[in-house]
Amino acid sequence: MYKKTILLVDDEPNTRRGITKTLESWSEGRFSILSAENGREALDYAKQYRIHLLVTDISMPEMDGLELLRSLKAEQQSLVAVVLSAYSEFDYAQEALRLGVVNYLLKPASKRMLIEAVEEALQIEEERTKVKTITRIADARLMDVQEKTLAAGPVKQAMHYIDQHIEHPLSLKEVAEHVHLNPNYFSMLFKEQANMTFSEYVTRARLQEAKSLLIKTNLSIEEVAERVGYSTSKYFIKIFKEFEGITPSKYKKVK
């Protein structure tokens, strides 16, 4: 599993070193800790790495913390942020909250307060990531069909069988035999109850599993294709692009 990245931004060298040391000690190698001395340098990091948590000072030369947050938001960076500030003015805090900051700490913050704020922010980031992942993976039509199809019966049994054997060829004849129905009757019944053909259901189920593997694993496109029942990656890529509008490799790179 890759490490999540925490980026600290503070123009005061001693503060930056102290907080970095605190975070590295707390992290025990679980997270990558980066530090930048201003907003410009932080933006450069954001272009090179996926930043999961930003811990930033407000008052900095060249680009302050709020400007940095606005720039990251404009670039659609889906990170969470904790703000450090020597200022307690309401306007600062209010603007920070509008920009999605999950905690606002006044300097000097104790190690305990800093770590608690970081842990809380990472929990929020984890939950947001889960929701985003589910949203990206889920095929709305497939989910609707699975929810609305009768709780019991041959079509529901067939769906379960397909989902459990997604890596296999899965012919209509094979699945019909599994639920003890004539293939022609099974095909008609499936389309009537699922409001989609057997073939479309199998394709959507394969692609939903493929999206999950692309996001959650480091498997190659060829390996993903094989895991979801496609004999060639070329055909898998063609079908994926037809349904998703982009290739599997580009889908995998989307943050």
Residue at a domain's end among 106, 135, 164:
135
Average pLDDT score over residue span 234-250: 96
Q: Which domain holds residue 188?
A: 140-253
Average pLDDT score over residue span 175-189: 97
pLDDT (0 to 100) of residue 149: 67
Q: Are residues 46 and 166 located together in one domain of the fold?
A: no
The residues that bridge with 54 in the sheet, in sequence order, are 7, 81
Q: Are residues 182 and 68 located together in one domain of the fold?
A: no
Residue at a domain's end among 104, 135, 166:
135
pLDDT (0 to 100) of residue 255: 57
Query: Greater confidence, 103 or 99?
Result: 103
pLDDT at 132 over 70: yes
pLDDT (0 to 100) of residue 45: 93
For 202-228, the pLDDT digits (tens) are 999 999 999 999 998 999 999 999 999
| Single-letter amino acid code for the residue at 228 | V
The residues that bridge with 56 in the sheet, in sequence order, are 9, 83
pLDDT (0 to 100) of residue 90: 63
pLDDT (0 to 100) of residue 254: 76
Closest CA to 177 of 167, 186, 190: 186
